């Protein structure tokens, strides 16, 4: 197993990409802590991992609150003794609207979850990684963090910020043998993407089929990304195969923009 005896925290680990990442890490032997505000989803995913012979715990956590993040990491220590891997996957889609119509409260919420929460989680585990002179942090950004994404400014800005955070952390932690990278998925198939497309169709006064076709036409492979595609890259980065990869933002986007 690639991750035997390692301990991973996956935020937003109860569904979608996060669930797939958590399951994939557990299959390779990692002990996994799942963190998000949704208890039911976390418990279900943790039970799935345990039923398959792995080790997992569910910790209800609002990652925008530093005290809750610190408490979550303490629980991981109490159960598993350390932290080796952090996958900052938690995120919200935010509004679909031109900047002129974006409410300040919506902007602040997206930044708090998508960017500040990732920083707080990294801050909380860094002492472990430095002490062990070993560790991996993977931040799930987005292809939206590389492009001008009209009507999705809060989301895009937060994902651009995650790339910057990843590069800064990679430099800060390199002397301690800690690798930090960002993954930039393209549109990922699933309920969240369905809602994004529906909101965009309403905002543009287009049909859902027109909006879907526009997205697919921007990808060389003309297909959406699967959660498994993202999880496979996470596994590569956090295993020994990724020991010499740091400070990178890697697209998994079916060739968006080629």
Catalytic residue ranges? 155
- Decide if 246 contacts 179 (C-beta within 8 A): yes
- Decide if 63 contacts 113 (C-beta within 8 A): yes
Helices 153-173 and 104-111 sit at what angle, rounded to 10 degrees? 30
Q: How far apart are CA 240 and CA 243, in angstroms?
A: 5
* Helix, coil or strand: residue 250: strand
Judged on CB neighbours under 10 Å (0-12, 13-18, 19+), 227 is: buried
Q: Spell out where 64-111 has E strands.
A: 85-88
From the centroid of its chain, how far is CA 92?
Answer: 10
Q: How far apart are CA 74 and CA 97, in angstroms?
A: 39
How is 137-182 classified by DSSP, letter by letter? EEEE--GGGTS--TTBHHHHHHHHHHHHHHHHHHHHHGGGTEEEEE
* Helix, coil or strand: residue 241: helix
Exposure string of 189-219, with b = 16+ CB inside 10 Å and e = fewer, is ebebbeebbebbbebeeeeeeebbeebeebb
Tokens matching residue 87: 């996958």
Q: How far apart are CA 103 and CA 168, in angstroms?
A: 29
């Amino acid at each position: 197993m690639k991750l035997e005896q390692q301990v991973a925290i996956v935020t937003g680990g109860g569904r979608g990409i996060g669930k797939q990442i958590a399951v994939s890490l557990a299959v390779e032997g990692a002990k996994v802590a799942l963190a998000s505000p949704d208890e039911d989803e976390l418990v279900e995913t943790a039970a799935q991992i345990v039923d398959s012979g792995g080790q997992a715990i569910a910790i209800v956590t609002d990652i925008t609150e530093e005290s809750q993040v610190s408490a979550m990491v303490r629980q991981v220590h109490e159960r598993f003794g350390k932290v080796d891997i952090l996958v900052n996957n938690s995120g919200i889609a935010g509004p679909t609207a031109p900047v002129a119509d974006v409410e300040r409260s919506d902007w602040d919420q997206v930044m708090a979850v998508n960017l500040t929460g990732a920083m707080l989680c990294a801050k909380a585990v860094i002492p472990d990684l430095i002490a062990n002179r070993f560790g991996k942090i993977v931040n799930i950004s987005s292809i939206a963090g590389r492009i001008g994404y009209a009507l999705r400014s809060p989301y895009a800005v937060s994902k651009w910020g995650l790339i910057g955070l990843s590069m800064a952390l990679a430099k800060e932690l390199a002397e301690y043998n800690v690798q930090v990278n960002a993954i930039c998925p393209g549109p990922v198939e699933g309920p969240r993407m369905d809602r994004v497309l529906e909101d965009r169709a309403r905002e543009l006064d287009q049909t859902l089929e027109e909006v879907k076709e526009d997205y697919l036409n921007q990808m060389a492979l003309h297909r959406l990304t699967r959660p498994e595609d993202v999880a496979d890259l996470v596994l590569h980065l956090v295993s020994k195969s990724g020991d010499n990869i740091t400070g990178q933002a890697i697209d998994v986007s079916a060739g968006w923009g080629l």
